[in-house]
Amino acid sequence: MWGRIFSGLLALALSGPALADETAEQIGDAERGAIVYKKCSGCHQVGPDAVNRTGPHLNGVFDRKAGAIEGFFYSKSLMRAAADGLIWDLEHLDAYLENPKALVSGTRMSFRGLREKKDRDDVLAFLRLYSDNPQNIPEASPTALKKEVELSPEVLAIVGDVAYGEYLASECLTCHKRTGADDGIPSITLWHPEDFVVAMHAYKRKIRPHPVMQMMAGRLSDEEIAALAAYFAELK
């Protein structure tokens, strides 16, 4: 299967962008991949306006050297893999999506992976639309991904008090590791503040289905959530 895919990509590189959409179909269903990608969108943005958040943006990810996004704080394990020559080609992207920790054991990414091959193929077909290397495909128009919860500009504008966040964080740190390690409990270290705030309000409104987190978030004010977001964003 991989041989057919790489042959298709090579044919595209030789023939120019005219066959881009036709050849892109060989990986998977990009339209379905946009739906599956919602599992990733809380941390990774993609599209013309994408920026780094909890995870690095994924524009141009195909054939990019691992750890190459300037200004993003990668884990030591990912940087070691990059130093060893890890390239995000189709094979390694597929392996990472299937089981991130199997490929990079100390990654901070707490996502468990996509076990179904079709899901991975479709997500990769979707991401390929935003990757112009090596296929020379212009980035597609951004796909509208609805936010988990719509918050007012006033709530999002609250500047959290880091010291107060540290005081409040003791309960969080009974489960979440200060080091960012993921031992069955997702890491919240170095989360982008807005992503943290949105996630906590999603629990508070019981949009995210986790009874313990719903209870914890339900006790917090907007200012307390902002303080925790500020603290964990700087916790290295």
pLDDT (0 to 100) of residue 141: 34
C-beta separation of 192 from 182 below 8 A? no
Instruction: Output the furthest CA–CA distance in the chain (Å, rounded).
Output: 60
Q: What is the structure's pLDDT at 10? A: 32
Tell which wins on pLDDT, 189 or 3.
Answer: 189
pLDDT > 90 fraction of the chain, expressed in percent and rounded:
47
More confident residue, 30 or 134: 30
CA 236 – CA 232 distance, rounded (Å):
8
Using a pLDDT cut of 70, give the percent of the chain over it: 81
d(CA 220, CA 222): 7
Question: Can you tell me the mean pLDDT for 219-231?
Answer: 96
Q: How far apart are the C-alpha atoms of 96 and 79, rounded to whole Å?
A: 15
- Confidence band, pLDDT 50/70/90 cuts, at residue 19: very low
**Helix (H) or strand (E) run with residue 26 in it:** none
- The dihedrals phi and psi of 141, each to the nearest 5 degrees, come to -65, 150
How far is the C-alpha of 217 from the C-alpha of 221, rounded, in Å? 8
pLDDT digits (tens, 9 = 90+) for 111-156: 889 999 999 999 998 998 888 644 444 333 333 345 778 899 999 9
How far apart, in Å, are the Cα atoms of 207 and each of 59, 204, 210, 226? 29, 8, 9, 19
pLDDT tens, position by position, 77-115: 999 999 999 999 888 999 999 999 889 988 888 888 999
Question: What is the average pLDDT across 182-205?
Answer: 86
Q: Give which of 45, 46, 63 is closest to 54, Cα–Cα.
A: 45
Q: Which residue has the higher pLDDT, 40 or 7?
A: 40
Candidate ranges 71-85, 172-186, 215-229; pick with highest mean pLDDT: 215-229
88 three-class SS: strand
The stretches of 45-115 forming alpha helices (DSSP H) are 76-83, 90-98, 100-103
Q: What domains are defined for the chain?
A: 2-128 (1.10.760.10), 153-234 (1.10.760.10)
